[in-house]
């Protein structure tokens, strides 16, 4: 039996594929289309790591199979080459990131004269069936000019709820000149200033631009971020491991910074509805629905002196089961409402929380921690005084950054109440479910179990109480 000389045979066919563009997709083909898109690698090191081909081999098998079945296959490759990884690698090697990125992709030598294989050479030697005519490099001006163009288009647009689409900002200015805010139904933050046409026309250009920024689809806002002082940049949750940066192991803290945001939530309902017509697996569509995260419920306001704590709840039927409230440690009212006696404990807790990412806080369901602020808010229906705590299981960027805790109906609230049972500011758990034992665990079922200890909701089922509670809150 002749030996299989893989070096000779692979080299022969790889040369043939490259010269004949065997794997290139054809525009305007009559063949059925198949699109296989891989996650682009960061070219931030001296070559591929084992995780890259691990995924690419699987998609390559599918791509080759589809070609044999008569499909016009688009299987491109590119490089996610813009941002922190490339910058950090350049700092480590003392070279400009544009040069190190180009060398890491195409091959060459490093600062010390060592040979760098290059991502492209390695992928070709493995024999992947990519269409290299479609290559993308996100660090190339030819690519990122489009992301800049998209940003400008968003900046020059606002979301018109009546038309259910984005409209030019010039149209909004025109309507402000003609009738002020009277006919505007826009996707914005709540409680924006109202003005007449005369007032708008009297504003300075600076004042007008500040107002328009509240309506634009890209806007500036103060928001909690993961800040790494050593790297001098904001990090995504994925870039943090055990409270330090994945690259370099530097400390990361949570802090408020002014940065550009996108009003993507304005499109949430359309994104949700348009999933129905997609030829995707139901599991993938469900992931997207969860990401969009539509919740139906009510906004409830608890008064605290001259301040108001807003809470969004999907269970307004449990309003009379509120035993305490929990705010995110970063909530804007924490410093304002905390009593002098609790100041030291609250400050220490806030400092400890700042070292944890949102993802870490969300994932850690076993650790229970929190501090009583010493403040009490007024229940909107019963008028009772409700103690206000802070806890890191509440996130400032999710909802309103505050929850009304109903331990009898929510497992996490139940665990929190039991953990701090007997301490100042933690009353006994209120039970609002008739005939249900909540001593060991919360009762979260949405069934026909009648409510009790709930004033005008007594005897009602979940559906009945939901409607009645919302109507009363609106009133």
Q: Which domains does the chain have, with CATH numbers?
A: 6-139 (3.40.50.620), 145-217 (no CATH), 220-262 (no CATH), 298-474 (3.90.740.10)
Task: Please report the pLDDT score of residue 294 as a whole number.
Answer: 86
pLDDT tens digits for 216-269? 999 998 888 889 998 888 888 888 887 788 878 999 888 888 989 999 999 999
Q: Which residues of the chain have pLDDT under 50?
A: none
CA 348-357-214 angle, 5° bins: 100
Strand partners, 251: 244
Single pTM value for the model = 0.73
| Tens digits of residue pLDDT in 346-382 | 999 999 888 777 777 877 778 899 999 999 999 999 9
């Amino acid at each position: 039996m002749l030996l299989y000389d893989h070096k000779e045979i692979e080299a022969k066919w790889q040369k043939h594929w490259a010269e004949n563009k065997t794997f290139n997709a054809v525009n305007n083909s009559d063949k059925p289309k198949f699109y296989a898109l891989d996650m682009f690698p960061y070219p931030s090191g001296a070559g591929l790591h084992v995780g890259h081909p691990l995924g690419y081999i699987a998609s390559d098998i599918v791509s080759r199979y589809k070609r044999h079945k008569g499909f016009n296959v688009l299987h491109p490759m590119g490089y996610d080459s813009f941002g922190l990884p490339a910058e950090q690698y350049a700092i480590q090697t003392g070279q400009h990131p544009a040069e190190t990125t180009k060398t890491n992709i195409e091959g060459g030598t490093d600062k010390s004269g060592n040979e760098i294989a290059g991502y492209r050479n390695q992928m070709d030697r493995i024999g992947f069936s990519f269409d290299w005519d479609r290559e993308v490099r996100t660090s190339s001006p030819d690519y990122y000019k489009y992301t800049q163009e998209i940003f400008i288009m968003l900046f020059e647009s606002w979301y018109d709820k009546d038309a259910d689409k984005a409209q030019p900002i010039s149209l909004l200015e025109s309507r402000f000149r003609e009738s002020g805010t009277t006919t505007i139904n826009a996707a914005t933050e709540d409680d924006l200033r109202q003005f007449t046409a005369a007032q708008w026309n009297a504003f300075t250009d600076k004042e007008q631009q500040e107002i328009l920024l509240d309506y634009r689809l890209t806007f500036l806002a103060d928001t909690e971020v993961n800040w790494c002082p050593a790297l001098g940049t904001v990090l995504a949750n994925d870039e943090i491991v055990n409270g330090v940066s994945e690259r370099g192991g530097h400390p990361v803290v949570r802090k408020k910074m002014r940065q550009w945001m996108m009003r993507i939530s304005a499109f949430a309902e359309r994104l949700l509805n348009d999933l129905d017509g997609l030829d995707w697996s139901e599991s993938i569509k469900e992931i997207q629905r969860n990401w969009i995260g539509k919740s139906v419920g009510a906004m409830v306001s608890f008064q605290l002196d001259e301040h108001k704590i807003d809470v969004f709840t999907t269970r307004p039927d449990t309003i009379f089961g509120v035993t305490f409230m929990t705010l995110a440690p970063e909530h804007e009212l924490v410093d304002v409402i905390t009593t002098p006696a609790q100041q030291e404990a609250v400050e220490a807790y806030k400092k400890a929380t700042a070292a944890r990412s949102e993802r870490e806080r969300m994932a850690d369901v076993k650790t229970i921690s929190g501090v009583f602020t010493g403040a009490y808010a007024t229940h909107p229906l019963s008028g009772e005084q409700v103690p206000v705590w802070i806890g890191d299981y509440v996130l400032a960027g999710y909802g309103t950054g505050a929850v009304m805790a109903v331990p009898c109906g929510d497992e996490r609230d139940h665990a929190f109440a039991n953990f701090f049972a007997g301490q100042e500011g933690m009353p006994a758990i209120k039970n609002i479910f008739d005939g249900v034992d909540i001593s060991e665990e919360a009762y979260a079922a949405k069934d026909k179990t009648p409510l009790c200890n709930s004033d005008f909701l007594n005897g009602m089922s979940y559906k009945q109480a939901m409607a009645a509670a919302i109507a009363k809150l609106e009133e």
